[in-house]
Amino acid sequence: MKSDTQTPVEFPVLLVEDDDKFRVQLAEYLRAEGFLIVEANSCPEACALIRQRKPSLVLLDWDLHKHCRPENASTGLEIVRVCREIDQLLPVLVMSAAPDWDVRSDSLMAEADCYLKKPFALPLLTVYLRRWLGRVKAEKNPFTQLGAGVIETADAVNRAYIRAVVEAVGSASQAAPKLGLSRQTIASYLASPMAA
């Protein structure tokens, strides 16, 4: 059953799972819930996708052994390391069916953000993903950044907003009527550096 809560589809979720049947079923469920899902079934594939596509969230099976040779079998540790290298704030949700609690401790010590023990209720996963993607969306919002001190002035928020509208519509000419500003005013905002 699809939830009423809207998920921001512009935020892709990388699903890393080496059990092909489970991954396909989970991806289908999450797509039906409104998530944009990119799939990987091995550590090298996941790391390449993280570097290329820069997902907004990684949903990671900690034990990836099916598509690895025994001599270089991999856990999610390498994937978390790459996530932190690319983006310190990239949310990583780890899942595992391992019978002991070492996986939970290991994954959280490796800087994963959340741990889910398999099997878990799919609606619970949906709640977690929506919550984390809501945080990702808020972090990208100039007004949130202003409140958090990432952007220091309201003028910088205006510049960020104007840049976002211009990027969304494709040009200053098209953005002008939507913003109620002249093209010259938009050009001056775009020419000014944005406060860090």
| pLDDT tens per residue across all 196 residues of the chain | 344 445 445 789 999 999 999 999 999 999 999 999 999 998 899 999 999 978 999 999 988 876 555 555 557 888 999 998 988 888 999 898 877 667 777 777 778 888 888 888 999 999 989 888 888 777 766 555 555 455 556 566 677 778 888 888 888 888 888 778 788 788 877 776 654 4
Q: Which residues contact 193 (CB under 8 A, 6 or more apart)?
A: none
Question: With contact defined as beta carbons under 8 Å apart, do 43 and 74 qualify?
Answer: yes
Q: pTM, whole model, 2 decimals?
A: 0.66
Rg of the chain (C-alpha set) = 20
pLDDT at 190: 79
Question: What's at 182, amino acid-wise?
Answer: S
Cα separation, 130 vs 143, whole angstroms: 20
Beta partners for residue 93, in sequence order:
59, 114
Nearest to 28 by CA among 141, 118, 93, 122: 122
